[in-house]
Amino acid sequence: MDQPGIAPDVHHGALQGLSRINRFSGTVGAIWKPIAETQQRLGRPLRVLDVACGGGDLAISLARRGSRRGVPLEVAGCDLSDVAIDYARQNAARQAVAANFFRADVLAQPLPAGYDVICSSLFLHHLETDDAANLLRGMHAAGPQLILISDLLRTRLGYVLAWTGCRVLTRNRLCRIDGPLSVRAAFRVAEVVDLVAQCGLSGARVEKRWPERFLLVWEASP
CA distance linking residue 139 with residue 132, whole number of Å: 11
Residue type, 94: R
**CATH code (residue 200):** 3.40.50.150
- Is 190 part of a structural domain of the chain? yes
- Does residue 196 form part of some domain? yes
170 with 115: CB under 8 angstroms?
Answer: no
DSSP notation for 20-60: HHHHHHTHHHHHHHHHHHHHHHHTS-EEEEEET-TTSHHHH
77: which strand partners?
A: 50, 101
Angle 103-58-160 from CA coordinates, rounded to 5°: 110
Q: Tell me whether residue 3 is in a domain.
A: no
Q: Which domain holds residue 192?
A: 8-219
Establish if 86 belongs to a structural domain: yes
SS3 2: coil
Pairing of strands 46-51, 117-121: parallel
Per-residue pLDDT 10s for the chain (222 aa) are 455 556 565 555 555 656 656 666 678 999 999 999 999 999 999 999 999 998 999 999 999 999 999 999 999 999 999 989 999 999 999 999 999 999 999 999 999 999 999 999 999 999 999 999 999 999 999 999 999 999 999 988 766 766 676 655 566 565 555 666 777 889 999 999 999 999 989 999 999 998 899 999 999 987
181 found inside a domain: yes
Residue 1 lies in a domain: no
Residue 71 within a domain: yes
The total number of structural domains in the chain stands at 1
Q: How far apart are the first and last CA of the chain?
A: 40
Q: Hey, which residues does 103 pair with through a beta bridge? A: 79
Chain centroid to CA 139: 13
The DSSP output letter for 114 is -
- pTM: predicted TM-score of the whole model, two decimal places: 0.86
